Chain A
Protein backbone atom coordinates (compact mmCIF):
# COMPACT_ATOMS: atom_id res chain seq x y z
CA UNK A 1 0.00 0.00 0.00
CA UNK A 2 1.08 3.56 -0.54
CA UNK A 3 2.50 5.46 2.41
CA UNK A 4 0.19 7.62 4.45
CA UNK A 5 1.86 10.75 3.02
CA UNK A 6 1.08 9.62 -0.51
CA UNK A 7 -2.50 8.78 0.39
CA UNK A 8 -2.88 12.17 2.06
CA UNK A 9 -1.54 13.98 -1.00
CA UNK A 10 -3.84 12.05 -3.30
CA UNK A 11 -6.89 12.74 -1.12
CA UNK A 12 -6.03 16.43 -1.04
CA UNK A 13 -5.83 16.42 -4.81
CA UNK A 14 -9.11 14.56 -5.21
CA UNK A 15 -11.22 16.15 -2.49
CA UNK A 16 -10.89 19.90 -2.53
CA UNK A 17 -10.93 21.58 0.85
CA UNK A 18 -10.36 18.43 2.89
CA UNK A 19 -8.30 19.15 5.97
CA UNK A 20 -6.12 16.16 6.77
CA UNK A 21 -3.52 15.60 9.40
CA UNK A 22 -1.25 12.65 9.99
CA UNK A 23 -1.21 11.65 13.64
CA UNK A 24 1.92 10.02 15.01
CA UNK A 25 1.80 6.91 17.20
CA UNK A 26 4.50 6.45 19.82
CA UNK A 27 3.53 2.90 20.72
CA UNK A 28 5.61 -0.07 19.46
CA UNK A 29 3.14 -0.73 16.66
CA UNK A 30 3.83 2.74 15.27
CA UNK A 31 0.60 2.72 13.28
CA UNK A 32 -0.04 6.27 12.23
CA UNK A 33 -3.49 7.48 11.39
CA UNK A 34 -5.20 10.09 9.30
CA UNK A 35 -7.30 12.74 11.02
CA UNK A 36 -10.13 13.91 8.76
CA UNK A 37 -12.36 16.92 9.27
CA UNK A 38 -16.08 16.25 9.76
CA UNK A 39 -17.33 18.09 6.68
CA UNK A 40 -15.29 16.08 4.18
CA UNK A 41 -15.21 12.73 6.01
CA UNK A 42 -17.87 11.12 3.85
CA UNK A 43 -16.25 12.23 0.57
CA UNK A 44 -12.83 11.13 1.78
CA UNK A 45 -14.25 7.74 2.82
CA UNK A 46 -15.87 7.32 -0.60
CA UNK A 47 -12.57 8.15 -2.25
CA UNK A 48 -10.68 5.62 -0.14
CA UNK A 49 -13.17 2.93 -1.00
CA UNK A 50 -13.49 3.62 -4.71
CA UNK A 51 -9.98 4.66 -5.67
CA UNK A 52 -8.55 1.89 -7.92
CA UNK A 53 -5.13 2.09 -6.24
CA UNK A 54 -6.53 1.76 -2.70
CA UNK A 55 -9.89 -0.03 -2.85
CA UNK A 56 -10.25 0.01 0.93
CA UNK A 57 -13.50 -1.91 0.76
CA UNK A 58 -13.49 -3.51 4.20
CA UNK A 59 -13.98 -1.64 7.47
CA UNK A 60 -12.78 -4.18 10.01
CA UNK A 61 -13.23 -2.19 13.17
CA UNK A 62 -14.72 1.04 14.45
CA UNK A 63 -13.93 2.13 17.95
CA UNK A 64 -14.44 5.13 20.17
CA UNK A 65 -11.94 7.02 22.29
CA UNK A 66 -12.73 9.49 25.05
CA UNK A 67 -10.23 12.27 25.59
CA UNK A 68 -11.23 14.15 28.73
CA UNK A 69 -10.31 17.77 29.43
CA UNK A 70 -6.64 17.92 30.26
CA UNK A 71 -5.28 20.42 32.74
CA UNK A 72 -1.55 20.98 32.60
CA UNK A 73 0.37 22.95 35.18
CA UNK A 74 3.19 24.90 33.58
CA UNK A 75 5.73 26.49 35.89
CA UNK A 76 7.36 29.62 34.60
CA UNK A 77 9.81 32.04 36.18
CA UNK A 78 8.64 35.63 36.03
CA UNK A 79 10.53 38.69 37.08
CA UNK A 80 8.55 40.82 39.47
CA UNK A 81 9.19 43.80 41.64
CA UNK A 82 8.69 42.74 45.21
CA UNK A 83 9.32 45.27 47.99
CA UNK A 84 11.18 47.59 45.65
CA UNK A 85 13.65 44.93 44.57
CA UNK A 86 13.42 42.92 41.38
CA UNK A 87 13.02 39.23 42.09
CA UNK A 88 12.46 36.10 40.13
CA UNK A 89 9.22 34.50 41.18
CA UNK A 90 7.92 31.12 40.09
CA UNK A 91 4.41 31.20 38.78
CA UNK A 92 2.16 28.30 37.89
CA UNK A 93 -0.17 28.67 34.96
CA UNK A 94 -2.91 26.15 34.42
CA UNK A 95 -3.38 25.36 30.78
CA UNK A 96 -6.60 23.61 29.91
CA UNK A 97 -6.83 21.52 26.77
CA UNK A 98 -10.51 20.86 26.05
CA UNK A 99 -11.48 17.22 25.61
CA UNK A 100 -13.17 15.59 22.68
CA UNK A 101 -14.52 12.26 21.50
CA UNK A 102 -12.95 10.31 18.71
CA UNK A 103 -14.09 7.58 16.32
CA UNK A 104 -11.37 5.41 14.80
CA UNK A 105 -11.93 3.39 11.61
CA UNK A 106 -9.60 0.56 10.58
CA UNK A 107 -9.75 -0.01 6.85
CA UNK A 108 -8.43 -2.88 4.75
CA UNK A 109 -8.69 -3.88 1.13
CA UNK A 110 -10.06 -7.32 0.43
CA UNK A 111 -9.45 -7.13 -3.30
CA UNK A 112 -5.89 -5.79 -3.13
CA UNK A 113 -5.06 -7.50 0.16
CA UNK A 114 -3.51 -4.57 1.92
CA UNK A 115 -4.11 -2.42 4.93
CA UNK A 116 -4.75 -1.16 7.45
CA UNK A 117 -5.36 2.49 6.85
CA UNK A 118 -6.64 4.21 9.96
CA UNK A 119 -9.10 7.09 9.87
CA UNK A 120 -9.92 9.27 12.85
CA UNK A 121 -12.81 11.66 13.27
CA UNK A 122 -13.04 14.05 16.21
CA UNK A 123 -15.97 15.85 17.78
CA UNK A 124 -15.68 19.45 18.86
CA UNK A 125 -16.20 18.75 22.54
CA UNK A 126 -17.59 16.12 24.89
CA UNK A 127 -20.85 17.77 25.88
CA UNK A 128 -23.07 19.31 23.23
CA UNK A 129 -21.16 19.24 19.95
CA UNK A 130 -20.79 15.47 19.66
CA UNK A 131 -21.97 14.99 16.09
CA UNK A 132 -19.92 13.13 13.47
CA UNK A 133 -20.88 12.02 9.99
CA UNK A 134 -21.75 8.35 9.84
CA UNK A 135 -19.61 6.25 7.50
CA UNK A 136 -22.18 3.43 7.43
CA UNK A 137 -23.33 4.52 3.92
CA UNK A 138 -19.78 3.77 2.76
CA UNK A 139 -19.04 0.63 4.79
CA UNK A 140 -22.23 -1.17 5.82
CA UNK A 141 -20.27 -3.17 8.40
CA UNK A 142 -19.81 -0.06 10.49
CA UNK A 143 -23.51 0.05 11.38
CA UNK A 144 -23.49 -1.91 14.63
CA UNK A 145 -20.12 -0.58 15.71
CA UNK A 146 -21.26 3.01 15.30
CA UNK A 147 -24.34 2.13 17.33
CA UNK A 148 -22.07 0.73 20.02
CA UNK A 149 -20.01 3.94 20.06
CA UNK A 150 -23.22 5.96 20.24
CA UNK A 151 -24.29 3.80 23.18
CA UNK A 152 -21.07 3.73 25.18
CA UNK A 153 -19.40 7.05 24.24
CA UNK A 154 -22.29 9.25 23.18
CA UNK A 155 -21.12 10.25 19.71
CA UNK A 156 -24.11 11.01 17.48
CA UNK A 157 -23.54 9.75 13.95
CA UNK A 158 -25.47 11.87 11.45
CA UNK A 159 -26.72 9.87 8.50
CA UNK A 160 -26.74 6.56 10.34
CA UNK A 161 -29.73 4.45 9.16
CA UNK A 162 -30.76 3.17 12.60
CA UNK A 163 -29.05 4.98 15.44
CA UNK A 164 -30.26 3.36 18.67
CA UNK A 165 -28.52 2.02 21.73
CA UNK A 166 -27.30 -1.50 21.12
CA UNK A 167 -26.02 -2.83 24.47
CA UNK A 168 -27.78 -0.81 27.14
CA UNK A 169 -31.54 -0.29 27.19
CA UNK A 170 -33.25 2.62 25.47
CA UNK A 171 -34.06 4.66 28.58
CA UNK A 172 -30.45 4.57 29.78
CA UNK A 173 -28.94 8.04 30.03
CA UNK A 174 -25.23 7.52 30.67
CA UNK A 175 -22.32 6.61 28.44
CA UNK A 176 -20.43 3.97 30.41
CA UNK A 177 -17.14 4.00 28.50
CA UNK A 178 -16.52 7.69 29.15
CA UNK A 179 -13.77 8.41 31.63
CA UNK A 180 -16.03 10.41 33.93
CA UNK A 181 -18.80 7.79 34.10
CA UNK A 182 -19.98 7.01 37.62
CA UNK A 183 -21.37 3.51 37.95
CA UNK A 184 -24.44 2.72 40.07
CA UNK A 185 -23.57 2.15 43.70
CA UNK A 186 -24.53 -1.42 44.61
CA UNK A 187 -21.67 -2.29 46.90
CA UNK A 188 -23.84 -3.00 49.92
CA UNK A 189 -22.59 -6.58 50.16
CA UNK A 190 -18.96 -7.35 49.39
CA UNK A 191 -17.70 -10.66 50.82
CA UNK A 192 -14.04 -9.80 50.29
CA UNK A 193 -13.76 -6.04 49.87
CA UNK A 194 -10.33 -4.75 48.98
CA UNK A 195 -8.67 -1.71 47.42
CA UNK A 196 -11.14 0.55 45.59
CA UNK A 197 -14.03 -1.78 46.30
CA UNK A 198 -13.37 -1.48 50.02
CA UNK A 199 -13.69 2.29 49.79
CA UNK A 200 -17.01 1.94 47.99
CA UNK A 201 -18.28 -0.79 50.31
CA UNK A 202 -17.35 1.18 53.41
CA UNK A 203 -20.11 3.69 52.73
CA UNK A 204 -22.63 0.86 53.19
CA UNK A 205 -21.18 -0.56 56.40
CA UNK A 206 -23.07 0.18 59.58
CA UNK A 207 -21.47 3.20 61.18
CA UNK A 208 -19.88 2.54 64.60
CA UNK A 209 -22.22 3.71 67.34
CA UNK A 210 -20.78 6.54 69.42
CA UNK A 211 -20.25 5.33 72.97
CA UNK A 212 -22.70 6.90 75.36
CA UNK A 213 -21.07 8.76 78.15
CA UNK A 214 -21.76 6.85 81.34
CA UNK A 215 -23.09 9.01 84.09
Chain B
Protein backbone atom coordinates (compact mmCIF):
# COMPACT_ATOMS: atom_id res chain seq x y z
CA UNK B 1 0.00 0.00 0.00
CA UNK B 2 1.44 3.36 -0.97
CA UNK B 3 0.86 6.00 1.61
CA UNK B 4 0.48 9.05 -0.59
CA UNK B 5 -2.77 9.76 -2.38
CA UNK B 6 -2.80 10.80 -6.00
CA UNK B 7 -5.65 13.25 -5.63
CA UNK B 8 -6.84 15.24 -2.61
CA UNK B 9 -10.20 16.92 -2.81
CA UNK B 10 -11.28 19.31 -0.08
CA UNK B 11 -14.60 21.10 0.39
CA UNK B 12 -15.40 21.24 -3.29
CA UNK B 13 -18.60 23.08 -4.19
CA UNK B 14 -20.08 24.32 -7.43
CA UNK B 15 -23.09 26.58 -7.61
CA UNK B 16 -25.02 27.49 -10.72
CA UNK B 17 -26.32 30.83 -9.51
CA UNK B 18 -28.11 29.90 -6.33
CA UNK B 19 -28.65 26.32 -7.42
CA UNK B 20 -26.34 23.64 -6.04
CA UNK B 21 -24.32 21.64 -8.55
CA UNK B 22 -22.32 19.81 -5.93
CA UNK B 23 -21.70 20.77 -2.33
CA UNK B 24 -18.79 20.30 0.04
CA UNK B 25 -17.25 17.16 -1.46
CA UNK B 26 -14.04 15.88 0.13
CA UNK B 27 -12.14 12.66 -0.53
CA UNK B 28 -8.76 11.24 -1.41
CA UNK B 29 -7.91 8.88 -4.22
CA UNK B 30 -4.92 6.54 -4.22
CA UNK B 31 -3.02 5.00 -7.13
CA UNK B 32 -4.69 1.84 -8.42
CA UNK B 33 -8.01 2.75 -6.89
CA UNK B 34 -11.27 2.95 -8.82
CA UNK B 35 -13.92 5.24 -7.37
CA UNK B 36 -17.48 5.12 -8.66
CA UNK B 37 -19.75 8.14 -8.33
CA UNK B 38 -23.38 7.04 -8.57
CA UNK B 39 -26.71 8.80 -8.36
CA UNK B 40 -29.66 9.65 -10.54
CA UNK B 41 -29.70 12.28 -13.28
CA UNK B 42 -29.25 15.74 -11.82
CA UNK B 43 -27.62 14.51 -8.62
CA UNK B 44 -24.43 16.43 -9.40
CA UNK B 45 -22.17 13.57 -10.38
CA UNK B 46 -21.17 14.95 -13.75
CA UNK B 47 -20.70 18.44 -12.28
CA UNK B 48 -18.36 16.90 -9.72
CA UNK B 49 -16.45 14.98 -12.39
CA UNK B 50 -16.06 18.11 -14.49
CA UNK B 51 -14.80 20.09 -11.49
CA UNK B 52 -12.29 17.38 -10.62
CA UNK B 53 -10.97 17.22 -14.14
CA UNK B 54 -10.69 21.04 -14.41
CA UNK B 55 -13.23 21.14 -17.21
CA UNK B 56 -15.35 23.27 -14.91
CA UNK B 57 -14.25 25.85 -12.33
CA UNK B 58 -15.63 25.08 -8.85
CA UNK B 59 -17.07 27.90 -6.74
CA UNK B 60 -15.02 26.94 -3.69
CA UNK B 61 -12.73 24.17 -2.55
CA UNK B 62 -9.47 22.67 -3.68
CA UNK B 63 -8.27 19.76 -5.79
CA UNK B 64 -4.65 18.81 -5.34
CA UNK B 65 -2.91 16.38 -7.66
CA UNK B 66 0.41 14.65 -7.09
CA UNK B 67 2.50 15.43 -10.15
CA UNK B 68 5.07 12.97 -11.51
CA UNK B 69 7.80 14.79 -9.57
CA UNK B 70 5.97 13.86 -6.35
CA UNK B 71 4.79 17.39 -5.50
CA UNK B 72 1.15 18.23 -4.95
CA UNK B 73 -0.20 21.06 -7.07
CA UNK B 74 -3.52 22.81 -6.72
CA UNK B 75 -5.17 22.20 -10.07
CA UNK B 76 -6.81 25.59 -10.19
CA UNK B 77 -3.48 27.34 -9.81
CA UNK B 78 -1.85 25.63 -12.76
CA UNK B 79 -1.11 27.68 -15.84
CA UNK B 80 -3.22 26.88 -18.88
CA UNK B 81 -0.20 25.22 -20.55
CA UNK B 82 0.46 23.02 -17.52
CA UNK B 83 -3.17 22.07 -17.26
CA UNK B 84 -3.37 21.11 -20.93
CA UNK B 85 -0.19 19.08 -20.66
CA UNK B 86 -1.65 17.19 -17.70
CA UNK B 87 -4.87 16.49 -19.58
CA UNK B 88 -3.02 15.24 -22.63
CA UNK B 89 -0.52 13.01 -20.88
CA UNK B 90 -1.07 12.10 -17.26
CA UNK B 91 -4.86 12.00 -17.45
CA UNK B 92 -7.47 10.42 -19.61
CA UNK B 93 -11.08 11.44 -20.05
CA UNK B 94 -13.50 8.91 -21.48
CA UNK B 95 -16.74 10.55 -22.58
CA UNK B 96 -20.10 8.84 -22.70
CA UNK B 97 -20.39 9.77 -26.35
CA UNK B 98 -17.21 8.66 -28.16
CA UNK B 99 -17.70 11.43 -30.71
CA UNK B 100 -16.88 13.93 -27.94
CA UNK B 101 -13.52 12.31 -27.27
CA UNK B 102 -12.46 11.28 -30.77
CA UNK B 103 -11.75 13.03 -34.02
CA UNK B 104 -14.32 11.41 -36.19
CA UNK B 105 -12.78 12.34 -39.51
CA UNK B 106 -9.21 11.19 -39.01
CA UNK B 107 -8.12 7.55 -38.97
CA UNK B 108 -8.23 5.28 -35.92
CA UNK B 109 -4.44 5.11 -35.93
CA UNK B 110 -4.15 8.90 -35.98
CA UNK B 111 -6.64 9.19 -33.12
CA UNK B 112 -4.33 7.11 -30.97
CA UNK B 113 -1.13 8.57 -32.40
CA UNK B 114 -2.16 12.16 -31.78
CA UNK B 115 -1.85 11.74 -28.02
CA UNK B 116 1.61 10.25 -28.50
CA UNK B 117 2.70 13.24 -30.57
CA UNK B 118 1.45 15.49 -27.78
CA UNK B 119 4.05 13.94 -25.50
CA UNK B 120 6.78 14.51 -28.04
CA UNK B 121 6.87 11.30 -30.03
CA UNK B 122 7.83 12.15 -33.62
CA UNK B 123 8.87 8.87 -35.20
CA UNK B 124 6.11 7.82 -37.59
CA UNK B 125 7.01 4.12 -37.51
CA UNK B 126 7.01 4.01 -33.71
CA UNK B 127 3.77 5.92 -33.45
CA UNK B 128 2.07 3.63 -35.94
CA UNK B 129 3.27 0.46 -34.27
CA UNK B 130 2.25 1.68 -30.81
CA UNK B 131 -1.15 2.67 -32.19
CA UNK B 132 -1.53 -0.71 -33.81
CA UNK B 133 -0.56 -2.43 -30.56
CA UNK B 134 -3.19 -0.43 -28.66
CA UNK B 135 -5.89 -1.16 -31.21
CA UNK B 136 -5.36 -4.86 -30.67
CA UNK B 137 -5.37 -4.40 -26.89
CA UNK B 138 -8.84 -2.93 -27.16
CA UNK B 139 -9.82 -5.68 -29.59
CA UNK B 140 -10.00 -3.62 -32.76
CA UNK B 141 -8.59 -5.47 -35.77
CA UNK B 142 -5.32 -3.83 -36.88
CA UNK B 143 -6.64 -3.90 -40.45
CA UNK B 144 -8.96 -1.08 -39.34
CA UNK B 145 -6.09 1.26 -38.41
CA UNK B 146 -6.64 3.50 -41.46
CA UNK B 147 -10.42 3.64 -41.13
CA UNK B 148 -12.16 6.62 -39.62
CA UNK B 149 -14.18 6.11 -36.43
CA UNK B 150 -17.22 7.26 -38.42
CA UNK B 151 -17.14 3.80 -39.94
CA UNK B 152 -17.02 2.08 -36.53
CA UNK B 153 -19.87 0.70 -34.42
CA UNK B 154 -20.69 2.35 -31.08
CA UNK B 155 -18.83 -0.30 -29.10
CA UNK B 156 -15.74 -0.03 -31.31
CA UNK B 157 -15.75 3.76 -31.05
CA UNK B 158 -15.84 3.50 -27.28
CA UNK B 159 -12.95 1.05 -27.28
CA UNK B 160 -11.02 3.36 -29.61
CA UNK B 161 -11.63 6.24 -27.24
CA UNK B 162 -10.20 4.15 -24.43
CA UNK B 163 -7.10 3.28 -26.46
CA UNK B 164 -6.60 6.96 -27.32
CA UNK B 165 -6.74 7.83 -23.62
CA UNK B 166 -4.51 5.08 -22.33
CA UNK B 167 -1.74 5.21 -24.91
CA UNK B 168 0.22 7.86 -23.03
CA UNK B 169 0.26 5.79 -19.84
CA UNK B 170 -1.92 8.12 -17.75
CA UNK B 171 -2.08 7.71 -14.00
CA UNK B 172 -5.65 8.93 -13.63
CA UNK B 173 -8.62 8.36 -15.91
CA UNK B 174 -12.01 10.03 -15.65
CA UNK B 175 -14.93 8.17 -17.17
CA UNK B 176 -18.39 9.61 -17.68
CA UNK B 177 -20.94 6.82 -18.14
CA UNK B 178 -18.46 4.78 -20.22
CA UNK B 179 -21.01 2.06 -21.01
CA UNK B 180 -24.05 4.31 -21.47
CA UNK B 181 -25.84 3.75 -24.75
CA UNK B 182 -24.16 0.42 -25.51
CA UNK B 183 -26.14 -2.79 -25.72
CA UNK B 184 -25.51 -5.38 -23.02
CA UNK B 185 -23.15 -7.76 -24.81
CA UNK B 186 -21.04 -4.83 -25.99
CA UNK B 187 -21.18 -3.43 -22.46
CA UNK B 188 -19.92 -6.68 -20.96
CA UNK B 189 -17.00 -6.75 -23.35
CA UNK B 190 -16.10 -3.14 -22.61
CA UNK B 191 -16.36 -3.64 -18.84
CA UNK B 192 -14.17 -6.70 -18.97
CA UNK B 193 -11.65 -4.77 -21.04
CA UNK B 194 -11.63 -1.73 -18.75
CA UNK B 195 -11.34 -3.95 -15.69
CA UNK B 196 -8.36 -5.77 -17.15
CA UNK B 197 -6.59 -2.59 -18.24
CA UNK B 198 -7.13 -0.86 -14.90
CA UNK B 199 -5.66 -3.88 -13.10
CA UNK B 200 -2.73 -4.35 -15.47
CA UNK B 201 -1.76 -0.69 -15.60
CA UNK B 202 -2.49 0.08 -11.95
CA UNK B 203 -4.56 3.10 -12.99
CA UNK B 204 -6.58 5.24 -10.67
CA UNK B 205 -9.99 5.98 -12.11
CA UNK B 206 -13.08 7.99 -11.27
CA UNK B 207 -16.13 6.55 -12.98
CA UNK B 208 -19.46 8.32 -13.09
CA UNK B 209 -22.34 5.96 -13.70
CA UNK B 210 -25.99 5.53 -12.87
CA UNK B 211 -25.63 1.78 -13.38
CA UNK B 212 -24.95 0.09 -10.04
CA UNK B 213 -23.92 -3.16 -11.73
CA UNK B 214 -21.19 -1.29 -13.60
CA UNK B 215 -20.10 0.30 -10.32
CA UNK B 216 -19.94 -3.09 -8.60
CA UNK B 217 -17.89 -4.61 -11.35
CA UNK B 218 -15.39 -1.80 -11.81
CA UNK B 219 -14.98 0.07 -8.57
CA UNK B 220 -13.39 -0.47 -5.18
CA UNK B 221 -15.08 2.44 -3.54
CA UNK B 222 -18.33 4.22 -4.15
CA UNK B 223 -19.86 7.63 -3.46
CA UNK B 224 -23.62 8.04 -3.67
CA UNK B 225 -24.81 11.52 -4.61
CA UNK B 226 -28.17 13.14 -4.16
CA UNK B 227 -29.11 16.78 -4.77
CA UNK B 228 -25.45 17.72 -5.02
CA UNK B 229 -24.38 16.12 -1.75
CA UNK B 230 -22.41 12.94 -1.18
CA UNK B 231 -24.82 11.09 1.09
CA UNK B 232 -22.99 7.79 1.44
CA UNK B 233 -19.41 6.74 0.82
CA UNK B 234 -17.68 3.42 1.37
CA UNK B 235 -16.42 0.13 0.07
CA UNK B 236 -18.46 -0.68 -3.05
CA UNK B 237 -19.82 -4.03 -1.89
CA UNK B 238 -20.60 -2.62 1.55
CA UNK B 239 -22.64 0.25 0.10
CA UNK B 240 -24.52 -2.10 -2.24
CA UNK B 241 -25.09 -4.99 0.19
CA UNK B 242 -25.70 -2.98 3.36
CA UNK B 243 -26.86 0.48 2.28
CA UNK B 244 -27.34 2.79 5.25
CA UNK B 245 -29.03 5.88 3.86
CA UNK B 246 -32.70 5.92 2.84
CA UNK B 247 -31.88 7.08 -0.68
CA UNK B 248 -29.18 4.43 -1.16
CA UNK B 249 -31.62 1.77 0.01
CA UNK B 250 -34.11 3.04 -2.53
CA UNK B 251 -31.50 2.97 -5.31
CA UNK B 252 -30.32 -0.55 -4.47
CA UNK B 253 -33.83 -1.90 -4.14
CA UNK B 254 -34.73 -0.45 -7.54
CA UNK B 255 -32.22 -2.60 -9.45
CA UNK B 256 -33.92 -4.92 -11.89
CA UNK B 257 -33.03 -8.58 -11.40
CA UNK B 258 -32.48 -10.70 -14.47
Is chain B a partner of chain A in the same complex? no
Which residues of A are at the interface with B, using a C-beta cutoff of 8 A? none
